[in-house]
Copies of this chain bind each other. A is one copy, B any other.
Amino acid sequence: MENQAMQEPLVYRRVLLTVDEDDNTSSERAFRYATTLARDYAVHLGICSVLESEDINIFDSLTPSKLQEKRRHVEQVVADYVKLAEANGVEHVEPLVYEGGDVDDVILEQVIPDFKPDLLVTGADTQFAHSKISGAIGPRLAKKAPVSVIVVR
């Protein structure tokens, strides 16, 4: 091993936190970890949620007004997290609200290329109700994302 390189500190400079609408314990801890890191190292924090606008079941598909309502709700959830992060002392926080058919794909193909995080922070129980694949998104992203991923418990 090259000792020189190994002695360089490794600090993430762009942290992306994914949040869903539910406030479970792991989401809360993921938020606390992301804000602690972003504040202590003065780095950029993006807080991201995905509105699943394309439901799998056509009978569940949303009317434009229902979709608009849902969109406003997700925007509000993210805005609340942003405010709280700023209250926690994070200087650079960015709300990121996306829409799409599958949360994993949206994060991998849109949010990551746009925000260019070097660390993705997600709660172990963070999941999206209408995702094509059930279960928490963290371990899946830990496998598939091109950047570092922390699954917070």
Contact = CB atoms under 8 A, between A and B. Distances in A.
A150 B153 contact: no
A139 interface: yes
Interface in A1-43: 1-3, 5-11, 23, 28-29, 31-33, 35-36, 39-40
A148 B148 contact: no
A9 B23 contact: no
A47 to B, nearest CB: 12
B148 A149 contact: no
Contacts of A150: 148-151
A9 B36 contact: yes
A28 B149 CA distance: 16
A110 interface: no
Contacts of A143: 139, 142, 151
Interface in A68-89: 80, 84, 87-88
Interface of A: 1-3, 5-11, 23, 28-29, 31-33, 35-36, 39-40, 80, 84, 87-88, 124, 138-139, 142-143, 145-153
18 contacts: A1-B23, A1-B80, A1-B84, A3-B84, A5-B28, A5-B32, A6-B28, A7-B84, A7-B88, A9-B32, A9-B88, A10-B29, A40-B40, A142-B142, A143-B151, A148-B151, A148-B153, A150-B151
